[in-house]
Structure 1
Amino acid sequence: MESLNFVAVDLETATSNRNSICEIGIAVVKDSEIVESKSWFVKPEGNKYDNFNMFIHHITPEMTENASSFPAVWKEVEAYLTDGVVVAHNSSFDMYVLRETFLANNVEFPNFKHFCSYRIAKYILKGCNSYSLPNVCEALSIPFGTHHRAEGDAIGCANVFIKCLELAEVDSLEELQSRYGFTCGEFTINSFKPQLSVRTRYRGVLSS
């Protein structure tokens, strides 16, 4: 597939509340190659953390005490995502976290289409015991760093999406959707839609 351009995104949260982002990571892909990756700490409201979340990602209140709040960090992140294609591994988590965080912080929805590398891997790779990011990377012989840290997970997600599209031998993201019977998700200024099977009906959520 020529000219595969997208940004992989990973989010970590401080608590069970979706509006508690504590780290954002991205990996920028141009022509099927990762050309940039980075991450930002985000100070969640009250800098409060659940022990379970800290056990998962090892991010602590001390690490985000001096970080900016989500609206300030988002101004920098948004420039990478707007009007493009965004990929997340298990977008049913990351994209809904973004949606709830936008609403809670009165941040205008961005414009971008989004795909789920978790679901793409399930379409294309058969026989995996688990489609978690480390397992899929192992199945595809993709080097993988520390799980549940945002930049490393974004890089892993980007490599999984690139490799899965190579295996699918499709010429476009439109062909990918047609072959496997789904439509990508989308944020617009006025609404949010998750990635869906073509057999699924969904009532969009307005931003205001």
Structure 2
Amino acid sequence: MERTAAHPRLVEIAIPTRAAGPAARVVALDFETATMSRATPCAIGLAWIEDGRVARRAYRLIRPDCAARMWCFGHIHGLHPGDVADAATFPEIWEDLAPHLEGALVLAHNAAFDLGVLRGTLDHYDLPIPRLRCLCTLVASRRVWPGLPSYTLPNVAARVGYSFSHHHALEDAEAAARIALGALAHTGAADLPALAAAIGVRVGTLGPEGYVSSVRAR
């Protein structure tokens, strides 16, 4: 599915059907939100890492459960109430998204925010919490590349040679994936759990029991 529009932020890419297979998959995730509430996502971007590369991408607009007058972040991500008036709601998207997150290793730059949006939105709609692991590329990048002038997503992405349009959920998700791949190449770690162990970063978890954040382990 693609939704043709003048602006790239309005062009959706469907979440692929997940075939049955091993659970050891890696997906980078990014949300943009409409309001201060973390239960109001208006866009989601996903980038899957397979065989050492970004293999698949998806981008969906989301119609949040909030009044248009509450919308306050359009100046940051460029999305406004009219852009998502005909978009799917989060529960409709969740049917496609949930199988990709269950059992996965989820990457995000400032994972506490994006996992907070996921948790807040699932709670808002009374949807089940998946079991997954998470690795924060913001925390990891501070350990892999000490001494950078800042660890914003654009700055760290530039360190690995990736340029993108910031605050576009899909491009932010792919940037996080590229940072993870760059960290693997820089350290020579065999995989992301091995990278986390080598640099002293805890792999977090999310499940029905609660959330454990991805932070420095030592």
TM interval, shorter chain, is 0.7 to 0.9
Residue type at the aligned position of 1:48: A
> Kindly tell me: are residues 140 and 172 of structure 1, through their superposed partners in 2, closer, same or farther at Cα, counting changes over 3 Å?
closer
> Kindly tell me: are residues 49 and 21 of structure 1, through their superposed partners in 2, closer, same or farther at Cα, counting changes over 3 Å?
farther
RMSD: 1.8
Q: Does 1:27 pair with 2:27? A: no
- Number of aligned positions between the proteins: 195
What's the counterpart of residue 131 of structure 2?
Answer: 111
What's the counterpart of residue 93 of structure 1?
Answer: 113
Residue type at the aligned position of 1:39: Y
Q: Does 1:161 pair with 2:170? A: no
> Kindly tell me: are residues 12 and 49 of structure 1, through their superposed partners in 2, closer, same or farther at Cα, counting changes over 3 Å?
farther
What's the counterpart of residue 197 of structure 1?
Answer: 216
> Kindly tell me: are residues 39 and 47 of structure 1, through their superposed partners in 2, closer, same or farther at Cα, counting changes over 3 Å?
farther
For the Cα contact (< 8 Å) 1:5–1:31, is it kept in 2? Answer: no
Q: Percent identity?
A: 27
For the Cα contact (< 8 Å) 2:27–2:48, is it kept in 1? Answer: yes
TM (norm. structure 2) is 0.83
Q: Does 1:184 pair with 2:206? A: no
Q: Does 1:171 pair with 2:194? A: no
Shift of 1:179: 2.3
Please say which of residues 87-96 and 182-191 is displaced more in the overlay. Answer: 182-191
> How do residues 1-208 of structure 1 correspond to structure 2 at under 5 angstroms?
5-48=25-68, 50=70, 52-142=72-162, 144-198=163-217
- Unaligned 5+ segments in structure 2 are 1-23
Tell me how far apart the structure 2 counterparts of residues 83 and 119 of structure 1 sit (CA, whole Å).
22
For the Cα contact (< 8 Å) 1:7–1:85, is it kept in 2? Answer: yes
For the Cα contact (< 8 Å) 1:15–1:49, is it kept in 2? Answer: no
Deviations 1:120-149 (A, max 9, x none): 11111122111111111112212x221101
Tell me how far apart the structure 2 counterparts of residues 20 and 32 of structure 1 sit (CA, whole Å).
33
What's the counterpart of residue 202 of structure 1?
Answer: none
For the Cα contact (< 8 Å) 1:10–1:151, is it kept in 2? Answer: yes
- 1:198 is paired with a residue of what secondary structure? coil
Tell me how far apart the structure 1 counterparts of residues 170 and 208 of structure 2 sit (CA, whole Å).
26
Tell me how far apart the structure 2 counterparts of residues 185 and 49 of structure 1 sit (CA, whole Å).
36
TM (norm. structure 1) is 0.87
For the Cα contact (< 8 Å) 1:27–1:158, is it kept in 2? Answer: yes
Please say which of residues 107-116 and 44-53 is displaced more in the overlay. Answer: 44-53
